Amino acid sequence: MNQEISTLIALQETDTKLAELDRETETLRQELAGREQAVRDKEVLADQCREKAAELEQSRHAVKAAAEEAAERIREGQIKMMQVQTSREHQALLKEIEEAKKQIKDTDDQLLQLMEEAEAEEARATELDNLCKGEQKLLADEAGRVEKAVREIDSRRGEVLKLRSQFAEALPPARLKRYEMLLQKRKGLAVVRIIDGVCQGCFMTAPPQQYNEVRKGDHICFCPACQRILYYMPDDADDSASSQPADQAEEEA
C-alpha cells in the first residue's frame, strides 16, 4: 500500500473520530435540553392549573350570585303571597318560589363541585411547582456535569484536529480537495475498505480487475458506483496464510 493511500485512510479515521466526538457533544446537549424542556413543560402545566382554578373560582362566584338572586326571588314571592287575592296568583307565586328553591339546591351541589375542582387544580399546581424546584436544582448540577464533559470532549477534539492537519498537509492539494468533496457528499465517509470485491460504502461489487488493482495498493482507486476511495486491508487469516512458507502451504494443500 503506497503512502498516499495510508495517509487517506488515517485522514478518514480522524474525520470519523471528529464526527463521533461531535455526536457525543450533541447527544449530551440534547439530553440536557430535553430535561430543561421537561421542567418548562411542568411550569406551563402549573400555570394552566392555576388559570383553570381561577376560572373555576369565577364560575363559583357566578353560581353563588345566581343562588343569591334566587333567594331574593323567594323572599319577594313570600311577601307578594300575603298580598294576592286570587287562587291563580297564589299558585303562580308558589310555582315561582319552588323553582327558586330548586335552583338554590342545584347551585349548592354546583358550588361544592366547583370548589373541589378548584382546590384540586391548585393542589396540582403546587405539586408541579415543588417538582420544578427539585428538578431545577438537579438540572443545575446536570448542566455543570455536561459542560465539564463537553470541555473534555473539546480537548480531545483539539488533539484529533492536530493529527488531521498533519495528514491533510501530507496530501497533494488536488487529492485533499477530492477527498473533502467526497467526505461532504458521502455523509462523512470518503475512504472505505473493499472486502471480497464489495465496496463497504455502497455495498456494490467492483469489477474483478479493479478489485485486483485495489489489492495491489499501488495507486488510488475509486468505487465505480459511489466514487469513494477504496483500499484493501487483508484479514488476519489472509495475513497468516500469506506469511506461510511456500512448502508449508503446499503441505497443507
Q: Are residues 156 and 183 in the same domain?
A: no
pLDDT of residue 241 exceeding 50: no
Exposure class string for 77-107: b at 16+ Cβ within 10 A, else e: beeeeeeeeeeeeeeebeebbeebeebbeeb
Q: Which domain holds residue 84?
A: 3-169
> Is 154 found in the same domain as 79?
yes
Q: 240 and 141 in one domain?
A: no
Whether residues 49 and 132 share a domain: the answer is yes
90: domain CATH number is 1.10.287.1490
- 23 and 110 inside one domain: yes
* Average pLDDT over every residue of 177-205: 95
Domain end point (choices 169, 193, 209)? 169
What average pLDDT score do residues 165-179 get? 95
139/213 same-domain check: no
**Lateral strand order in the sheet of 229-231:** 198-199, 191-195, 229-231, 221-222
* Chosen domain end from 122, 150, 169: 169
Asked if 83 and 157 sit in the same domain, the reply is yes
Longest Cα pair distance anywhere in the chain, in angstroms? 137
Question: Residue 117 carries which side chain, given as an amino acid letter?
Answer: E
Please, are residues 194 and 5 in contact by the beta-carbon 8 Å criterion?
A: no
Window from 1-10, 95-104, 195-204, 210-219 with minimum mean pLDDT = 95-104
- Do 159 and 62 belong to one domain? yes
Domain count, the chain: 2
Please, are residues 216 and 2 in contact by the beta-carbon 8 Å criterion?
no
Over pLDDT 90: what percentage of the chain?
63
* Domain-terminating residue out of 152, 169, 186: 169
Burial 15-40 (b: 16+ CB within 10 A, else e): bebbeebeebbeebeeebeebeeebe
Residue 6: pLDDT over 50: yes
When the pLDDT of each residue in the chain is averaged and rounded to a whole number, the result is 85
| β-bridge mates for residue 192, sequence order | 230
Give helix 3-81 / helix 173-185 axis angle, nearest 10°: 30
Distance in angstroms between the alpha carbons of the first and the last residue of the chain: 28
Stretch 188-212: mean pLDDT, rounded? Answer: 94
Model pLDDT, residue 236 = 53
Rounded Cα gap, residues 182 and 205, in angstroms: 19
Q: What is the pLDDT of residues 42-66, one digit of tens each?
A: 999 999 999 999 998 888 888 788 7
Q: Is 237 a residue whose pLDDT tops 60?
A: no
Is residue 183 predicted with pLDDT exceeding 80? yes
Closest CA to 26 of 189, 146, 143, 155: 146
What does the pLDDT read at residue 93?
Answer: 67
As a whole number of angstroms, the distance between CA 147 and CA 166 comes to 29
CB under 8 Å to 213, separation ≥6 — which residues?
219, 221
Inter-residue contact 223 to 230 (CB < 8 Å): yes
User: From the CA atom positions of the chain, what is the Rg in Å?
Assistant: 41
Mean pLDDT on 178-197? 95
Give the per-residue pLDDT at 112.
86
- 140 and 64 in a single domain? The answer is yes
Both 25 and 141 in one domain: the answer is yes
- Indicate if 217 and 147 belong to the same structural domain: no
Residues 67 and 139 in one domain: yes
The band of 84, judged by pLDDT with boundaries at 50, 70 and 90, is low
More confident of the two residues 6 and 60: 6
Residue 175 C-alpha cell reads as 487529492
